[in-house]
Structure 1
Amino acid sequence: MDEAHPIIVFDAECVLCSLNARFVLRHDRHGHFRLASMQGAVGAALYRRFGIDPADPETLIVVTGDEALRDSTAILAIWSGLGWPWRALTILRLAPRALRDPLYRLVARNRYRLFGKRRTCWVPRPDQASRVLP
């Protein structure tokens, strides 16, 4: 894994997750992150590597080297990596993980019901394709 370019593994069938992926691609002006869907070979392999079932994921992960961040910590790492003004949202680190993570998991468990599910996986625009792993 390239530590200079953390990989965000997300559910490309989830409307909320796909919106988040597009948000990252739009606001990551320095090309810091790479993305991989859990439906693709790279994303599924990374989920399995860190003990997450790609068929029933409960979280997105941010992989840097041999480490995977999960739940609210992963979201905070994304905001931090995007730079200003998004980095300001990392003030939420002041809230204990014992409060942040259950809220994250509640939304993650109900993401299809709350935001919808795509019939097909989200596909990046051609100018973004180099940042999305197969």
Structure 2
Amino acid sequence: MPPAVPDTIFFDGVCNLCNGFVQLVIRHDPAGRYRFAALQSDAAQHLLAAHGLAPGALATAPESVLLLSGGQLYSHSTAVLRIAQGLGGAWRLVGLGWVLPRPWRDALYRVVARHRYRWFGRQESCLLPTPALQARFL
């Protein structure tokens, strides 16, 4: 059963890798535990500001995925690992990543985040959800 307030995944709406990640989560989250917000959206900026992240701070950071869960904001590899755990099933195996020291996990995350446009490409505009998924996007 999903929590009363779904966890929110913030993603780079023009990044092909990030959009693919969102699509993966949607496919493996039929209960609707997660909702989504493109980092470029006003809704994301207001919600992140309400949780202590200065407006525009993401413009210079290589963040591509953030997770707001239980009032706590998670970033880097911690966000990805927590999302995978929340999907349950075989996705919990991704949790083996917790055995790596956080600095190592985050260094790998930063390398991928820094090169994501070059490796995976980017779109001109943010993902537009289908009418069936509209309620899960902020």
| TM-score, length-scaled by structure 2 | 0.87
2:102 match: 97
In structure 2, C-alpha distance between the alignment counterparts of 1:56 and 1:17, rounded to whole Å: 17
Root mean square deviation, CA, Å? 1.7
Q: Does structure 2 retain, via aligned residues, the 8 Å contact 1:71–1:104?
A: yes
The correspondence of residues 1-134 of structure 1 with structure 2, limited to 5 A, is 4-48=5-49, 49-51=52-54, 53-59=57-63, 60-133=65-138
Once superposed, which parts of structure 1, at least 4 consecutive aligned residues long, lie more than 4 Å away?
A: none
Q: Which runs of 5+ in 2 are unaligned?
A: none
Greater shift in the superposed pair: 44-53 or 73-82: 44-53
Change in Cα spacing, 1:56 to 1:122, as seen in structure 2 (3 Å) is farther
| TM-score, length-scaled by structure 1 | 0.90
Q: Which runs of 5+ in 1 are unaligned?
A: none
In structure 2, C-alpha distance between the alignment counterparts of 1:102 and 1:90, rounded to whole Å: 17
Identity %: 36
In structure 1, C-alpha distance between the alignment counterparts of 2:57 and 2:103, rounded to whole Å: 23
Query: Which residue identity lines up with residue 53 of structure 2 in the other structure?
Result: F
Query: Which residue identity lines up with residue 58 of structure 1 in the other structure?
Result: P
Query: Which residue identity lines up with residue 132 of structure 1 in the other structure?
Result: F
In structure 2, C-alpha distance between the alignment counterparts of 1:85 and 1:4, rounded to whole Å: 24
